Amino acid sequence: MKSVNDYKPEIKAVHQARVLLVGPVGSGKSSFFNSISSAFRGNMTSQAIAGTAGKSVTTQFRTYTIKAGKGGKLLPLILCDTMGFEENAEAGLDIEDIVSICKGHVKDRYQFSPSAPIQENSPGYKKHVTLTDMIHCVVYVVDASKVSLLKQKMLDKFAAIRRKSNQLGIPQLLLMTKVDEACPLVAQDLKNVYRSVYIQKVSRDLSEALGIPLSCVLPVKNYSNELDLDQKTDILLLTAVVQMLNYADNFFENLDTEGIKDQLDLYRSNDHLRPSIEHNAV
């Protein structure tokens, strides 16, 4: 918790690392934010709407800040929650919406449209962006108990997001949620998460299927039916947050010297973006 509290982005113009959570419906994106917020607040909270419906409970793009305790200072982290995506190409979150979010063009509380991705003339579109608005780390969220049920269409969506994120130079992590539901050994004692042969297998399967290094696959357990905080649960959750901040630093470091030029080149087609990006990058 101290590491998170004391974190400062590599670039002085940016005060908070912005992390985007993406994943299938019901994978635990909103619950992860609630769990992190609970850990820092010291009691259970439910700021982000979470649920177990077959359709995504989150229908808006939301940016959530976290306070270090009730009435405390804001942490240097913003967690961005999105609508879950589905196997059907016509349902759930559109890949192009994720690209717009990563570039900083989507305003908080933008209502996702099931018929078309956000356009420049949409009410929730932000034309002039800075490094503060961009996503600094993309985090895929997958239910560990349902990895075997992931179909090729869903894996293709992950692959498409990964390609787009790579093109934008955004580091990526994978959160493997509900590890206690996936393995009885872990359900008995959360400390067994790194001893579980099954969890190790699921981690490798996800790593290979999504093309993400095994070191980037992080097991976590969100708070769901608990009334009190648990230190073992918090340790996994906070370990994941520290890694997100480390990877956000990688994004900022890649903007140095040639990295700044490469990042700006991505926006050459949008001339009105260049001044604000150059100012913040330098």
Share of the chain above pLDDT 90, in %: 56
- This prediction's pTM: 0.85
Contact partners, residue 85, CB within 8 Å, separation at least 6:
22, 23, 24, 25, 92, 93, 154, 157
Q: Find the angle CA(177)-CA(179)-CA(185) to the nearest 5 degrees.
A: 175
Is the model's pLDDT at 270 over the cut of 60? no
Q: List domains and CATH numbers for the chain.
A: 15-281 (3.40.50.300)
Distances 10 to 24, 50, 244, 267 between C-alpha atoms, Å:
31, 33, 14, 22
Rounded Cα gap, residues 220 and 168, in angstroms: 27
Among 69, 111, 84, 100, which Cα is nearest to 273's? 100
pLDDT in tens, 160-201: 999 999 999 999 999 999 999 999 999 999 999 999 999 999
Tens digits of residue pLDDT in 77-93: 999 998 888 766 666 67
Q: What tokens does 106 get?
A: 């989507």
pLDDT at 277 (0 to 100): 45
